[in-house]
A and B are shown apart, each in its own frame.
Chain A
Amino acid sequence: MSDKSNKYGYVGVDIPAQSFGSNKGVFNPAEINDLVANNQWTTFGQLELIETKTASASSAVNFVDIKENIYNVHFLTYSLIPSADDTGVIRFSNNNGTSWIASSYQYTQQFGNSAGAFSNLDATSINFLARLGNSTGTGTNELTAGYYYFYNLGDSTKKNFATMHTTGTDTSSNYQMTFGSAVYSVAEIVNGISLFCYSGNTLTGTASLYGIRYS
């Protein structure tokens, strides 16, 4: 698209179309702001921090402004310790955290620990998306940590998928890990993410949510 209006340093000539990776001209601050707003300005750093939450004996860590209209892929990191032996899990919201969805999830996670136990953790109908770890203990440094990728949260035509890899210490002080996949099987917009203890204990620690622009 081109026009002959006076902008980007051009006067009275066809103005080149602008896009990420292909900006041509001399730009003033207002023009740059407009191009940034329209995803047409070339700037690197597509892993963009949305929000970091710090929890202190919190009943949940909730993200309710996840900018799902901007990002197709979200990246979550966390490092949390429960107030008592418990398993951390995730739920979604479709109403910005007014309520949390407790149906239509499936997950599949490979579990393993330093004591030699390996098993499959999975469900075809469950009331949470997936686990942040598995039965995390409360001793010194016995936290659960890991990352999740979320796909399609802002697309009302697609199911909402997740992949994860977690690490931590279980209630017997065994070092443990899980990796796997999960889905919220309803094609609708998800606009909230909640991390909490399944049996009602509190969480202390941090969690950060990022968006991957242009994903």
Chain B
Amino acid sequence: MATNLEFIKSASGTNVSSLTVTDCFSDKYDVYDITFDFAGNSVTGYIEFRLLDSTGTEISSAEYDVAGLMMRSYNTYIENRSVNTTGYTIGYNQDFGLGGKLTIFNPYDSSSYTFLLNQNAGGTTSAGQLIGWKGIMTHKVAETISGIKFFVSGGGSYDFNYIEASVFGVK
């Protein structure tokens, strides 16, 4: 039975297009909680997520299955799902700001797929409207995962005004 959270490490950046948290998983925990908050800039949109392999290399192969519900306070909800995709769309943000949490299962176990739960609250432009996100992801290769990466999907002027994440082991 899980009894508490144990802080492992945090990372942050300003005016960056990505944030990588390296060597945050180990054989000490099976389950991890990751809190995060960020704001994109006025033209940033979808926010992406990938895992890092045991060497710290970003996994960009088509090894992810994902499903999520994009919940807009101002419009209909949108299902966001894909199989054999190269990453996970974790949320949406311009400069509204966003706060959320991931739970990741079995990342360090080389004999298991890695599974993820995601829920966050973000939005559109700074004076705009709320976009919530609830989703799941699995990385369909049994290998050791050592870290994570958040990044914006647009390139160019698409950016995070700020981003910070903290990793906890669930003990």
The answer for the CA separation of A138 and B77 in the assembled complex, in Å, is 31
Evaluate contact between A110 and B166: CB separation under 8 angstroms: no
Interface centre among A108, A163, A213 (most CB of B within 10 A): A108
CB-CB contacts below 8 Å: A78-134 with B: 106-110, 120, 122-124
Evaluate contact between A44 and B4: CB separation under 8 angstroms: yes
Chain A residues near B73: list those with CB within 8 A.
Answer: 106-108, 122-124
CB-CB contacts below 8 Å: B1-16 with A: 4-7, 9-10
CB-CB contacts below 8 Å: A179-205 with B: 179-183, 185
Evaluate contact between B166 and A215: CB separation under 8 angstroms: yes
Chain B residues near A212: list those with CB within 8 A.
Answer: 5, 35, 166, 168
| Closest residue on chain B to residue A122 by CB atoms | B73
Chain B residues near A182: list those with CB within 8 A.
Answer: 121, 130, 132
The answer for the CA separation of A171 and B161 in the assembled complex, in Å, is 45
A46, chain B: closest CB distance, angstroms: 4
Evaluate contact between B37 and A108: CB separation under 8 angstroms: no
Chain A residues near B97: list those with CB within 8 A.
Answer: 152, 158-159, 161
CB-CB contacts below 8 Å: A129-152 with B: 149, 151-152
Evaluate contact between B123 and A183: CB separation under 8 angstroms: yes
Interface residues contributed by chain B, number (CB under 8 Å)? 36
| Closest residue on chain B to residue A183 by CB atoms | B130
Mark the stretch among B56-64, B98-106, B138-146, B149-157 that contacts chain A: B98-106
Q: Is the contact region of chain B dominated by helix, strand, or loop, or is it mixed?
A: strand
Contact of B134 among A73, A110, A151 (CB under 8 A): A110
Evaluate contact between B77 and A44: CB separation under 8 angstroms: no
> Is A70 an interface residue when CB atoms closer than 8 A count as contact?
no
> Is B88 an interface residue when CB atoms closer than 8 A count as contact?
no
Evaluate contact between A73 and B74: CB separation under 8 angstroms: no
> Is B158 an interface residue when CB atoms closer than 8 A count as contact?
no
B153, chain A: closest CB distance, angstroms: 20
Chain B residues near A29: list those with CB within 8 A.
Answer: none
CB-CB contacts below 8 Å: B123-139 with A: 123, 129-134
**Also in contact, A179 and B101, with CB within 8 A (given A47-B5, A163-B120):** no
The answer for the CA separation of A109 and B121 in the assembled complex, in Å, is 11
Chain A residues near B49: list those with CB within 8 A.
Answer: none
Chain B residues near A106: list those with CB within 8 A.
Answer: 73, 129-130
Evaluate contact between A107 and B130: CB separation under 8 angstroms: yes
Contact of A180 among B6, B37, B71, B96 (CB under 8 A): B71
Chain A residues near B133: list those with CB within 8 A.
Answer: 181
Evaluate contact between B168 and A46: CB separation under 8 angstroms: yes
B81, chain A: closest CB distance, angstroms: 15
Contact of B35 among A73, A110, A120 (CB under 8 A): A73
Chain A residues near B69: list those with CB within 8 A.
Answer: 110
> Is A12 an interface residue when CB atoms closer than 8 A count as contact?
no
The answer for the CA separation of A123 and B129 in the assembled complex, in Å, is 10
Evaluate contact between A159 and B134: CB separation under 8 angstroms: no
Contact of B6 among A44, A163, A215 (CB under 8 A): A44
Evaluate contact between A45 and B119: CB separation under 8 angstroms: no
Q: List 12 additional A-B contacts (Cβ < 8 Å) besides A124-B130, A181-B120, A181-B133.
A: A44-B6, A44-B171, A46-B6, A108-B131, A120-B77, A122-B74, A152-B99, A163-B101, A182-B121, A183-B121, A183-B123, A214-B7
Closest 6 A-B residue pairs measured CB to CB? A151-B99, A181-B132, A181-B121, A161-B99, A161-B121, A106-B130
